[in-house]
Amino acid sequence: MSLTLTRPELVRSHNFIAGLWRDALSGGRHPVSDPATGAEFANVPDSAAADAQAAADAAHAAFDSWRDRTARERAQFLKRWHAAIVANGEDLARIISREQGKPLAEARGEVAYGASYVEWFAEEAVRAYGDMIPALMPGKRMMAVKEPVGVVAAVTPWNFPLAMIARKIAPALAAGCTVVAKPAEDTPLTALALVRLAEEAGLPAGVLNIVTASRGQTPATVASWLADPRVRKITFTGSTPVGKYLARESADTLKKLSLELGGNAPFIVFDDADLDAAVTGLMAAKFRNGGQTCVCPNRVYVQSGIYDAFARKLVERVAALRVGPATRDDSQIGPMINARAVEKIERHVEDALAHGATVLTGGRRLSGDGLDGPNYYAPTVLGDANREMALFSEETFGPVAPLFKFDDDADVIREANDTPFGLAAYFYSTDVRRIWRVASRLESGVIGINEGAVSSEAAPFGGVKESGYGREGSRYGLDDYMHVKYLCQGGLA
């Protein structure tokens, strides 16, 4: 699969540190592979602790002058960056598709989604208000002001190679922080292209630095930031075990943390739901990015009276999904990110069948018919799912919708909450009393009510329980990169 761009120079193959494109100090490289076949098509620096340290040095050196700029100046930079992302959107979408495997139409959607965070935080930068506090004694003035936390380390995932890094870097820069970033080893090229556009938009040297590293070198690279007292915040999207590791290892320097971690989203369809709307919502939530999102429904609960009708309608829609190479115009589901991802999906489906599930559609890898590698998996619906199955407690991260039958509201809420995770939950009902009752009982940071597409730059995104803490996007998103300083002035009587 070729990568034809209007501006081929957007494909970068170096780290960006202190305003310069550089090799890793060791000279090491690591491959970027085609998700469908596993074949290398590009390579980037395999950085180590020394490169990460150089990035932190640069971010630390740039901090004072960046924070001292007015919020308006920082906002103007973000607006220019946003315009550059939009203007180069088609090239960015091609890079995303190439390294991540999502169909081009979806990659275009991701560019718009990621760009929306940059625009949003350009607008929020100038609204980081503090408070005047009524003084309790004469002759005093008391106030709370917001200040940037300092150098931020951003560690980002492969499933949205543009949107996830944009929604961390944009609020950090808006707040006046400087950034060191490490994109996922599977998808570094999108992040590097984004930084290239930031450079073109007038990014001052050292304000944003990026290092790439292989899976093997990533722990040492990130560990150098964890141990560095100058790095005041870690922002991470990825698995819960890694999130816990980051929390433990940053404890010595008590860094501020934003952790957007694993999910195990329930999707509940009550017997009074509009079934067609519920099927449409599930298609949007479950099969976006081939099921590779943290907010994808992992367990679909359907009330017994409508179970058969719902299953029939869902199977019809899922069986019609077109699986194909990311570049084919009509593809709706591309390859999974790599061989390990498909193996996990296979393991979950085999385990579910061994515990009594039935395949209603899909349930196997796909090959032939223009599919260019072994990493395609058929969109799948499983019937008769139960809590003994691995997919009840583990995130499948693939295009598999297991249907669990339920009778009682209280039981389904208990089941839905019976997980250490709490990122997203969805339910469909037309009963207003039930809607408010269920919404308040579900233990989750994000809830879709009669809606499967919940993500937006204007909304707070983040979890509860072991899905992490911190919020991205919305007016709350800037606070994650700021602390509150209290000023007390006396002698004014």
Closest alpha carbon to 264 in 414, 399, 423, 412: 423
CA dihedral angle for residue 212, residue 214, residue 215, residue 220, rounded to 10 degrees: -70
- Find, among 481, 473, 476, the residue nearest to 456 by Cα: 473
Select 47 or 455, whichever has its Cβ closest to ligand SIN: 455
In the complex, the smallest distance separating the C-beta of residue 188 from ligand SIN, rounded to whole angstroms, is 18
Question: Of 142, 163, 139, 165, which Cα lies nearest the Cα of 154?
Answer: 165
Contacts of 112 (CB under 8 A, 6+ apart): 89
Phi and psi, residue 273, nearest 5° = -75, 155
The residues binding ligand SIN (CB under 6 A) are 159-160, 237, 260, 293-295, 455, 461
Closest CA relative to residue 170, chosen from 67, 81, 55, 63: 81
Q: Give min distance, CB of 454 to ligand SIN, in A.
A: 7
Is 260 catalytic? The answer is yes
Catalytic-labelled residue, pool 106, 199, 260, 457: 260
Cβ-in-10-Å burial (0-12, 13-18, 19+) of 43 comes to middle
Rounded to the nearest whole angstrom, what is the least distance from the CB of residue 113 to ligand SIN in the complex?
7
The residue among 293 and 444 lying less far from ligand SIN, judged by its C-beta, is 293
Give whichever of 178 and 467 is closer to ligand SIN, judged by the CB atom: 467
Asked whether 200 and 187 are in contact (CB, 8 A), the reply is no
Output the smallest distance, CB 237 to ligand SIN, in A.
5
Residue 204 C-beta: closest distance to ligand SIN, Å: 29
Tell me phi and psi for residue 382, to 5 degrees. Answer: -110, 135
> Looking at beta carbons only, is 32 or 163 nearer to ligand SIN?
163
Closest residue to bound ligand SIN by CB: 455
Q: How far apart are CB 370 and ligand SIN at their closest, in Å?
A: 28
* Closest CA relative to residue 41, chosen from 50, 49, 32: 32
**Which of 427, 461 has the CB closer to ligand SIN?**
461
CB-based contact 443:264 (threshold 8 Å): no
Distance CA 394, CA 387 (A): 11
Q: Which residues contact 195 (CB under 8 A, 6 or more apart)?
A: 12, 16, 203, 208, 210
Of 84 and 423, nearer to ligand SIN (C-beta) is 423
What residues are labeled active site?
260
